[in-house]
Structure 1
Amino acid sequence: MGAQTRQSLEAVAQHASKAKGHTLAHVAGLFHAGRALAEHPSLLAALADHGHDSTQRATLLDGALGSLDKSARALLDDVVGLAWSEPADLLQGIEEYGIRLSVGLGDTDVLVSHLLELSRTIRAHAELQLALSDKRASADSKRSIVMALGAKSMDKVALEVAAYVAPQPRGRRASDALVDAARLACHQDGRGLAEVSVATELSAAQMKTVQQTVLKRFGTECYLDVVIAPEVIGGARIHVGDVVIDGSVDTQLNAMRLQLAG
């Protein structure tokens, strides 16, 4: 990631923290603009080229997205007005801004859990992963797949985010893009995301113990994404980013076997 993009993503986070009065319709408009720009690389390149001044970029947007809601256009202008190392990074900025703005439009825990549940559904069905990765398929057809998957099980905010992120994952697998979206939503909420693999469901007391363990280890609260994994046997395996806290009985048994073999 280039230095300009890194700085602009930090600015996006600041914009999102200060934004007030936006609605789901405004975020949906921002995502609509992102989908349109993704389909027109030359326009995307022109908007990311800061050889064009703000007036020229505004004229380009007026011609391409003149019907965009005024409030959604203001959100888009927040992103287009920043400097990006590569044209494609502008799409990342739109994605991150939309996700961050979505936090607070509903229950953040519901948003995160629904994104993660959809990610697991896609990961468990190879045909879905392939369909959402097919470069020959249109973004609209992929969006229709996501909308059909989440129509009955996801709330409106989570579905809007998923229907933007999964059909155009920007080089990632759709399932991974959804996890990234959930992680970003947690970050906007001042938390981390921890995947907790256990053999059976945790009690409230056990959840509290895991939360305290994570807080002590990382210095921040985390949303706990509890995954049932029978191979763990007992205890828990906790992933936070690239760090693993492994207190599972399975790992302890393997360690004992290695010691005995040595």
Structure 2
Amino acid sequence: MAGASSDSLAAARTELDPVLVSGGTSLAAELFTALEAVDSSAPLRRALTDPSWSVERRTGVVGSLFGSKASEGALSVLNTLAGHKWSQPRDFGDALEQLAITAVAASAERDGLDGLERLSGELLSFNRAVEQSHDLQRALTDPQAPAAARGNLAERLLGNGSAEARLLVRQAAQAPRGHKPVNLIRGFVETVARRQRLWIADVTVARPLAPAQQDRLAAGLKRLFGRDLKLDVAVDPELVGGIRVQVGDDVVDSTLQSRLHDLQRKMAG
């Protein structure tokens, strides 16, 4: 996904994050059901993404098809996506899938970083089990097998997994959307990792931090970001002084090097 579609997905992620966090797996299940409808109808994909149609007309399609059976959260996601621009019709479904996975990750995130790490571990363990067995690979990709049967097999293989992992492996087996289930799950893990990065502070300092300094930094970052962050500290003498912290896309930079660059830009400008 690139160009307008990439920008639209990024904007939708930001706008819809509260909806996805509160909706969790129940919302994700609804979005996966809507995705099935979108994937099964080329005219519907065109109607939801046609740039010559007004936003009101595209969201009207959402209301007419999903309004009587979808929750408020699911309608919010679908209407938001219909309000954005997409480079090609398939990108609407890809974005819908990404937001559904994000809702699953947000559900696991209720247990903090541990929940996200658990979910990633479950998905990767599932993939390892499948990749070690040609019989399982054939069974999970057999086009003659009913989709529900493939989904049931995936859940049995997962064993006593979390509700989040069960939903995702079933989705990958039932509706791989032209991919091998294991490849689709690798993409799911990347989306979960995106949430994990919000719990990890990449810290770069000019000199090693003493334990007490790390504790004070952790406490300050908790006040700033509203959650306990795992510190990943690296030392870079070229910073000269100060500290640089990155949490997801957010950067807090108080290094002397950064201030010198700012001064140089002002002098040059």
TM-score range, shorter chain: 0.5 to 0.7
SS for the counterpart of 2:107 is coil
Give the CA deviation at 1:216.
7.9
| Partner residue in 2 for 1:9 | 9
Give the CA deviation at 1:79.
2.4
Aligned counterparts, 1:44-55, within 5 A: 44-55=45-56
| Partner residue in 1 for 2:59 | 58
Any idea what the Cα deviations from partners look like across 1:144-166, whole Å, max 9, x if unmatched?
4333433x322101211222234
The code of the aligned residue for 1:180 comes to G
Give the CA deviation at 1:215.
6.8
Q: Which runs of 5+ in 1 are unaligned?
A: 193-210, 222-262
The code of the aligned residue for 1:118 comes to F
| Partner residue in 1 for 2:171 | 164
Cα 1:2/1:187, change in 2 over 3 Å: closer
1:179 aligns with 2:186: yes
2-structure distance, mates of 1:166, 1:12: 26
Higher helix proportion (structure 1 or 2): 2
Give the CA deviation at 1:135.
4.6
The code of the aligned residue for 1:155 comes to S
CA-atom RMSD in angstroms? 3.3
SS for the counterpart of 1:22 is helix
Give the CA deviation at 1:214.
11
2-structure distance, mates of 1:135, 1:37: 20
Choose 22-31 or 174-183, whichever is displaced more: 22-31
1:101 aligns with 2:109: no
2-structure distance, mates of 1:129, 1:186: 25
| Partner residue in 1 for 2:22 | 21
| Partner residue in 1 for 2:125 | 117
Off by >6 Å, runs of 4+ in structure 1: 211-217
Cα 1:83/1:129, change in 2 over 3 Å: farther
| Partner residue in 2 for 1:207 | none
2-structure distance, mates of 1:136, 1:80: 34
2:59 touches 2:82 (CA, 8 Å); kept in 1? no
1:30 touches 1:73 (CA, 8 Å); kept in 2? no
The code of the aligned residue for 1:93 comes to A
SS for the counterpart of 1:105 is helix
| Partner residue in 2 for 1:92 | 94
- Number of corresponding residues: 203
Any idea what the Cα deviations from partners look like across 1:17-46, whole Å, max 9, x if unmatched?
444532321221111111222122221222
| Partner residue in 2 for 1:251 | none
TM-score (norm 1): 0.65
Cα 1:90/1:129, change in 2 over 3 Å: farther
| Partner residue in 1 for 2:217 | none
2:147 touches 2:173 (CA, 8 Å); kept in 1? no
1:191 touches 1:220 (CA, 8 Å); kept in 2? no
2-structure distance, mates of 1:63, 1:138: 29
TM-score (norm 2): 0.63
Aligned counterparts, 1:134-153, within 5 A: 134-135=142-143, 139-150=147-158, 152-153=159-160
1-structure distance, mates of 2:148, 2:125: 22
Choose 87-96 or 156-165, whichever is displaced more: 156-165
The code of the aligned residue for 1:178 comes to I
Cα 1:189/1:174, change in 2 over 3 Å: same
| Partner residue in 2 for 1:189 | 196
Q: Which runs of 5+ in 2 are unaligned?
A: 109-114, 200-229, 237-244, 248-269
1:16 touches 1:100 (CA, 8 Å); kept in 2? no
Is the radius of gyration larger for structure 1 or structure 2?
2
SS for the counterpart of 1:23 is helix
